[in-house]
Amino acid sequence: MTPRLWGERGRRRALKLGIDPARLPPGQSPTTKFPVLTVGPNAGVPLERWLLSVHGEADSPFVLRWEELMALEQVEVTCDIHCVTRWSKFDTRWRGVRVRTLLERARPRPGATHVMVHSHGGYTTNVPLSALLDDDVLIAHRFDDAPLAPDHGGPARLLVPSRYFWKSAKFVSALELMAGDRPGFWEDNGYHNDGDPWREERHSVDPLAARGLRRSARDR
């Protein structure tokens, strides 16, 4: 199905579900499910061994244990999330700690521009520092009034609603402040470096062109 036809189907489905199609980024289709997409196995980190490091280009780097995360101000966020695989889920409810709170405590140095997000299990993704300062960006540990399930990144994941969902790294273990940018796992494997769903920044190159290049290489 072409992106245009997928988008038309998505808008029709949004209307059927009573969702304003204006809330649907281009090329997306709404779902009432919560699909599970994970690189590698679930990390399975026990709470007593869970740690979150905030370090790098920071004057006051620190590490949090689980009980210390729970002692910080907890906030509730309701937001829409959008996956690069073309599903969107609306009015999702999360609870956690604002990333901005953690970054302010770490005191980013003037040259810090981006953050590399690290996960238990080795996954990485890069996010502009400015995108992590929004009110709805969390280290989230609850979803729909229940502890975050391991399939969805529990015990805690990053939540960045302004980007495609691969940027909301599961099993988060560290926020590394960087003076400059470098690609994470999916960005190094063909996904767009920024991943804004409203600009439909899915891939670093056109996927049809990329398939053509791979086919041409095989034919040589």
CA 217/CA 220 separation, integer angstroms: 5
CA 192/CA 102 separation, integer angstroms: 26
Q: What pLDDT score does 184 carry?
A: 97
Q: What pLDDT score does 5 carry?
A: 59
Give residue 63's Cα distance to chain centre.
21
**In terms of Cα–Cα distance, which of 141, 120, 134 is closest to 71?**
141
Q: Which residues contact 131 (CB under 8 A, 6 or more apart)?
A: 137, 160, 162, 163
Report the chain (220 residues): mean pLDDT per 10 consecutive residues: 65 82 93 84 85 98 98 98 96 98 98 97 96 98 96 96 97 97 96 96 67 33
Q: Side chain identity at 71, as an amino acid letter?
A: A
Q: Which CATH class is domain 45-212?
A: alpha beta
Q: What pLDDT score does 58 carry?
A: 98
Q: Which residues contact 39 (CB under 8 A, 6 or more apart)?
A: 121, 123, 185, 186
pTM exceeds 0.95: no
CA 85/CA 51 separation, integer angstroms: 30
Q: What pLDDT score does 4 carry?
A: 61
